[in-house]
Amino acid sequence: MLILTSTARIFTFAWKNFVRNAWIWLATVVVLVLALLSVNTLVGVNAVASSAIGVLEDKIDLSVYFKPGTPAAVLDQARSYMASLPQTSNVDLMTSDQALEAFKQRHAQDPNILGALDQLDQNPFGASLVIKARSTDDYPFLIQALNNPQFNFAVESQTYDDHAAAIDRVRQIAASIRYFGTALTAIFILFSALIVYNAIRVAIYTMREEIGIMRLVGASNAFVRLPLILDALLLAFFALCITAGIIAGMIAFFDPRIRTFFDGADPGLQSYYLVHYSQLLLFQAAAMVAVVTLAAWAAVGRYLKR
Amino acid sequence: MITFKHVSKVYPPDVHGLRDISLFIAPGEFVSIVGSSGAGKTTLAKLLIAEEQPTRGNIEIGGWDITRIKSRDIPYLRRQIGVVFQDFKLLQKKTVWENVAFALEVAGETRRRIRETVPHVLKIVGLEQKAQRFPYQLSGGEQQRVVIARALVHRPKILLADEPTGNLDTMNTNEIIDVLKKINAFGSTVVLVTHNREVVNALHGRVITLADGRVVADHEQGKYLLPT
């Protein structure tokens, strides 16, 4: 009964204190929200960067162009051999006739090009193989595999290097984002902890008379401390709720706009949050609870020395 | 009830608050502790409520050695010692009733006990008619009586009053002393720390005189001996 009464009273004191120091708490909530937003922005940017890398990787292929007139048997052998490799995901063979047809379709609106094509006696296009690797790391191996003497004499050219440079660049950017983002997040978490600590100290300073009287009349340290820790947890709760609302709004705003940069493909922002938000929220809640509890505990402790 | 055995208190680096104090206060006594500023009166009061720890010696209250009292036990000690200070220490946003009830609330007492106790102690100090007033609506003497009421809610065996009349005029001072006598008559030990000559001389009780951290006089029917 006594425990119930004390617990109820601790909650009551916490709520009264929260209302009384509303402006101080509000300022603290804003800072906590900013810190959480920085973490979420970092996560969002990482998701989009990963998605961008995925889209780019999907666009990568190894195109092997054969000399015009290469016999179909050699082409079939090349296709079969490349398809049999475990590093290969998919191989498409485009014959010279298919390549000519595709070219004509692509330039159907350009009579000059079609006219020039008609002037030629024979099909200028050779056959080609379009090879997709399971991983971008497999392309160097596949390029080596093209040196197979059974068909390498018929290979005219291959394209890969341009894509490789773009992928490397995107990877570097993503790594930089992760590196600086992590440092920025760590700094924001540190700032948040210090600000919560100071906000609670200020709140306690405004309550110093009441705390002094509480201790004078025999309140236990826990009775003085717990309402303030509850206030700090309430702050964390509000900050998490507000951040979740802002994040939802930001995703709804940005996702369709980013989509245009991905040629209509999923930029990965919304889908990432749909899949991972519960984990992300749990992690942020745990971190926030730990930071505010420790900060409040330490801040109140300064005023409870005898 | 209260025993000081060779108690000294030194504040760093070498300021002596008390020097080898030994004294015994029996249950139900009304003791005045007098002395000029810096004599060690307030240090003695702080040691009694464990706000400070002695550098040397032992302090016992009701057989409980509080010399090295643990932090978690201090609230229980303070519920046994009612404390009254010169500057009242009332919460201005709370009514008289709420200020008194506050001491019971923080100790986890039930609402029923609070409803029973608060009117009772307000009656003892003569403020039952002003329970719904705020401190700023009361005179200095009335505010001090609220503080005394608050100090009484835990039915303390000891009431420590540190300069309770320091901010009051003669009439209010007399009112406060009358209340303290009344509490003493109920059986509580009253320790009055003061430098008010008239009050001390009018009490005709035990007077312990401190000077430079030492007990220089301890008389059963004492007078205020120090020059003003």
Q: What is the pLDDT of residues A38-66, one digit of tens each?
A: 888 877 887 787 777 777 777 778 888 88
Lowest pLDDT segment from A206-215, B15-24, B65-74: A206-215
Query: Does pLDDT of A306 surpass 60?
Result: no
User: What is the pLDDT averaged over residues A252-275?
Assistant: 80
Amino acid at A209: E
CATH of the domain at B135: 3.40.50.300
Query: Does pLDDT of B180 surpass 80?
Result: yes
Contacts of B162 (CB under 8 A, 6+ apart): B41, B42, B45, B83, B84, B85, B86, B193
Q: For the purposes of burial, counting CB atoms within 10 Å of the CB of A266, is it exposed (0-12), middle (13-18) or buried (19 or more)? A: middle
Counting the structural domains of chain B, the total is 1
Query: Does pLDDT of A236 surpass 70?
Result: yes
CA–CA separation, A271 and A257 (whole Å): 15
Q: Provide, as residue numbers in chain B, all residues whose Cβ is less than 8 Å from the Cβ of A218.
A: 75-76, 78-79, 103, 106-107, 154
Phi–psi pair at B3, nearest 5 degrees: -130, 125
Q: Quick one: pLDDT band at residue A211, thresholds 50, 70, 90?
A: confident
Q: Quick one: pLDDT band at residue B44, thresholds 50, 70, 90?
A: very high
- Let me know if residue B227 belongs to a domain: no
- Let me know if residue B197 belongs to a domain: yes
Amino acid at A282: L
Helix, strand, coil distribution of chain A in percent, nearest 5 = 75, 10, 15
pLDDT value at position A162? Answer: 57
Q: Provide, as residue numbers in chain B, all residues whose Cβ is less than 8 Å from the Cβ of A9.
A: 105-106, 108
User: Domain of B119?
Assistant: 2-219
Q: What is the pLDDT of residues A280-299, one digit of tens each?
A: 889 889 988 888 888 888 87
Q: Where are the domains of chain A?
A: 2-56+166-301, 61-159
User: Is the pLDDT higher at B26 or at A178?
Assistant: B26
Closest CA in chain B for residue A7? B108
pLDDT value at position A167? Answer: 65
Q: Which residues of B lie closer than 8 Å to A, measured between beta carbons?
A: 49-53, 71-72, 74-76, 78-79, 83, 89-91, 102-103, 105-111, 150-151, 153-154
Q: How high does pLDDT run on average in chain B?
A: 89
Contacts of A271 (CB under 8 A, 6+ apart): none
Q: Do A219 and B75 touch (CB under 8 A)?
A: yes
Q: Quick one: pLDDT band at residue B156, thresholds 50, 70, 90?
A: confident
- Let me know if residue B194 belongs to a domain: yes
CATH hierarchy code of domain A61-159: 3.30.70.3040
Q: Quick one: pLDDT band at residue A111, thresholds 50, 70, 90?
A: confident
pLDDT value at position B129? Answer: 93
- Annotate chain B with DSSP letters as a single string: -EEEEEEEEEETTTEEEEEEEEEEE-TT-EEEEE--TTSSHHHHHHHHTTSS--SEEEEEETTEE-TT--GGGHHHHHHHEEEEETT----TTS-HHHHHHHHHHTTT--HHHHHHHHHHHHHHTT-GGGTT--GGGS-HHHHHHHHHHHHHTT--SEEEEESTTTT--HHHHHHHHHHHHHHHHTT-EEEEEE--HHHHHHHTSEEEEEETTEEEEEETT----S--
Min CA distance, B209 vs chain A (Å)?
26
Q: What is the pLDDT of residues B80-136, one digit of tens each?
A: 888 888 888 888 888 999 999 988 888 888 889 999 999 999 998 889 999 999 999
Q: Which residues of A lie closer than 8 Å to B, measured between beta carbons?
A: 1-2, 5-6, 9, 209-210, 212-221, 223, 304, 306
User: What is the pLDDT averaged over residues A235-242?
Assistant: 91
Q: Which of B75, B91, B109 shows the shortest C-beta gap to A213? A: B91
